[in-house]
Amino acid sequence: MDKETVRVIIDKLLIIQERDCHIARCQRELSDIPNLKQNIETKLNQHKAALEKSKVTIKTRLAAVKEMEIEIETFRQQIAKLREQQFQIKSNEEFKVLNREIAALQEKIRGLEDTEIELMETVEQAQREENGLKLESAKAEGTVQSEIKQLDDRRKSLESELQQLQTNRQGLVVGIAENWLARYNLVMENRKDVALVGLDGNACGGCHMKLPPHVLQDIKRANAIITCSFCGRLLYWHT
């Protein structure tokens, strides 16, 4: 194969390589979109989970307050019964015993009421936090919807661009010798970046390993496919 023919093939392959790199970038970005959407949705779910946890906390604390109120009312009823009993007894000693029982119940009530006040303060704090979480969750949901739409729009744009690039590539390969194209495709598939590289001084432009003198001479002749013995990429002489 003469030098000019090889030069033409290499020029075509370089254009194809540029398309292939562009195609690979589009495919990588497309493959990343589902993960990006999942990450966005995960953040929203975290906001929702925090809000739900806050609601459960408030519900639990309110239930505890209710239990205390029931317990306090029970003690008050017991006190009322004990006072009724005091009217029916005639012994001072029995009267004092009932008084001590009443005092003990009243002490329990005061303790429960103090705890109830403290618990209600925590309920109010939790309710304030819940209101803040509601605002954050609503804001996050709006942001997520916007970001999801942007990703969906980007996906559609990439799919259209990818289709055009692939169609364009099909036209570019027409007329290229099958052995050159097959070698190029194989290397491109294996290397996942570029298949055709120029020289970097006396080294391969891909792996940067120094090449033997006879390989450098073969590359400069440019009348055949020359492969780097280190990385397998196709080498060409660029002037």
* DSSP class per residue in 18-84: HHHHHHHHHHHHHHHHHHHHHHHHHHHHHHHHHHHHHHHHHHHHHHHHHHHHHHHHHHHHHHHHHHH
Tell me whether strands 203-204 and 226-227 are parallel, antiparallel or unpaired.
Answer: unpaired
Which of the listed residues 127, 149, 173 is the one where a domain comes to its end? 173
- Give 104's contacts (C-beta < 8 A, 6+ positions apart): none
Is 36:151 a contact under the CB 8 Å cutoff?
A: yes
Q: Do 97 and 211 sit in the same domain of this protein?
A: no
Q: Establish if 16 belongs to a structural domain.
A: no
Q: Establish if 187 belongs to a structural domain.
A: yes
Q: Do 169 and 181 sit in the same domain of this protein?
A: no
Which amino acid, 174? Answer: V
Show contacts of 18-22: CB within 8 Å, 24+ apart: 19/165, 19/168, 19/169, 19/172, 20/169, 20/188, 21/193, 21/194, 22/165
Name the strand (E) or helix (H) holding 9: helix 3-88
Paired residues of 204 in beta bridges: 199
Sheet (strand 226-227) strand order: 203-204, 196-200, 234-236, 226-227
pLDDT digits (tens, 9 = 90+) for 150-192: 999 999 999 999 999 999 999 999 989 888 999 999 999 998 8
Cα–Cα distance measured from residue 224 to residue 2, given in angstroms and rounded to the nearest whole number: 8
Q: Establish if 233 belongs to a structural domain.
A: yes
User: What whole-number percentage of the chain has pLDDT above 90?
Assistant: 81
Which CATH number do you get for residue 39? 1.10.287.1700
Q: Do 162 and 237 sit in the same domain of this protein?
A: no
Q: Establish if 11 belongs to a structural domain.
A: no
Q: Do 55 and 168 sit in the same domain of this protein?
A: yes
Is 205:226 a contact under the CB 8 Å cutoff?
A: no
Q: How far from 2 is each of 197, 221, 223, 224, CA to CA, in Å?
A: 20, 9, 5, 8
Q: Do 205 and 156 sit in the same domain of this protein?
A: no
Looking at residue 222, what is its pLDDT?
82
Q: Do 77 and 166 sit in the same domain of this protein?
A: yes
What range defines the domain where residue 235 resides?
177-239
Q: Do 47 and 142 sit in the same domain of this protein?
A: yes
CA quadruple 95, 98, 100, 101: dihedral, nearest 10 = 180
How many separate domains does the chain show? 2
Which of the listed residues 173, 199, 226 is the one where a domain comes to its end? 173
pLDDT digits (tens, 9 = 90+) for 31-40: 999 999 999 9
Place of tokens 């959407």: 37
pLDDT greater than 80 at residue 1 = no
Q: Do 158 and 43 sit in the same domain of this protein?
A: yes
Q: Do 143 and 227 sit in the same domain of this protein?
A: no
Q: Establish if 2 belongs to a structural domain.
A: no
- Would the pTM count as exceeding 0.95? no
pLDDT digits (tens, 9 = 90+) for 63-74: 999 999 999 999
pLDDT digits (tens, 9 = 90+) for 204-239: 999 999 999 999 999 988 888 899 999 999 999 876
Q: Do 37 and 153 sit in the same domain of this protein?
A: yes
Distance from CA of residue 138 to its chain's centroid?
A: 19
Question: Max CA-CA distance within the chain?
Answer: 132
pLDDT digits (tens, 9 = 90+) for 109-154: 999 999 999 999 999 999 999 999 999 999 999 999 999 999 999 9
Is 105:40 a contact under the CB 8 Å cutoff?
A: no
